[in-house]
Amino acid sequence: MEISAAAVKELRQRTGAGVMDCKKALLECAGNIDKAIDFLRKKGLAKAAKKADRATAEGLIGSYIHAGGKIGVLVEVNCESDFVARTEEFQNLVKEISMHIAAMNPLYIKREDVPAEVIEKEKEILRAEAAASGKPEKVIEKIVEGRMKKFFAENCLLEQGYIRDPEITVKDLISSAIAKLGENITVRRFTRYQLSEVL
């Protein structure tokens, strides 16, 4: 099958992937651009998983001020090299993450950061709610498990739906940047300030 240069160019613009990767994806997907985007995303996520153990000692501290100075965020995002930290793609990623934190107010980076006592307290509340609604014991644990997934998706940055595209998580956003930039990327820490917030 012949793949047109225009199709390759469009796929490149939409994904940021290399020319050969775009051509291969279009060949694999019989020229269907939407399917090729999915193909590249899956390939990118697989690449990202392979890089997950690599050390990240470089990066940037990004900031974002919103709502006329009423909400502010500082976030540290790490990568493997100073070269990648200086790229426009990485800087944009840091900006997007800080904007997301301002809008969605996550409490933790990942579910492993949630203290055990917070998880236990949440499960206790959910169990009591399910029991009060008269659900049988066997069903209660499944309900609690499902609601805990929702709890993590609401409170953990990496599991939240990305503000610009709720179909993907912040973790997916970072994974696609890892695939594009070829380095491991991690969010190390963040702080979100809100004017007159009670601490």
pLDDT at residue 39, as a whole number:
83
> How distant, in Å, are the alpha carbons of 19, 25, 119 from that of 15?
11, 11, 37
Count CA within 13 A, CB hemisphere, residue 168: 14
pLDDT at residue 105, as a whole number:
96
pLDDT at residue 22, as a whole number:
83
CB contact burial 17-51 (16+ within 10 A = b; e otherwise): beeebbbbbbeebeeebeebbebbbebbeeebeeb
Amino acid found at 119:
I
Ranges of each domain in the chain: 5-51, 58-109+156-194, 115-154
Out of 1.20.5, 1.10.286, 3.40.50, 3.40.720, which CATH number does the structure's domain 115-154 have? 1.10.286
> How distant, in Å, are the alpha carbons of 38, 54, 89, 163, 172 from that of 45?
10, 15, 17, 20, 8
- Contact indicator for 166, 37 with CB cutoff of 8 Å: no
pLDDT at residue 45, as a whole number:
55
Q: Is the pLDDT of residue 48 over 60?
A: no
Out of 3.40.50.1970, 3.40.50.300, 1.10.8.10, 1.20.120.80, which CATH number does the structure's domain 5-51 have? 1.10.8.10
Closest listed residue to residue 16, CA positions, set 44, 42, 52, 35:
44
Q: pLDDT per residue over 4-42, tens digit each?
A: 888 888 887 776 666 778 888 888 888 888 888 888 777
Q: pLDDT per residue over 72-95, tens digit each?
A: 999 999 999 999 999 999 999 999
More confident residue, 187 or 182: 187
145 vs 138: CA distance, rounded Å? 12
Question: Model pTM greater than 0.85?
Answer: no
Q: Does domain 58-109+156-194 have CATH number 3.40.50.1820?
A: no
* 9-23, 40-54, 101-115: the lowest-pLDDT one: 40-54
* Residues above pLDDT 90, as percent of the chain: 50
- Contact indicator for 150, 123 with CB cutoff of 8 Å: no
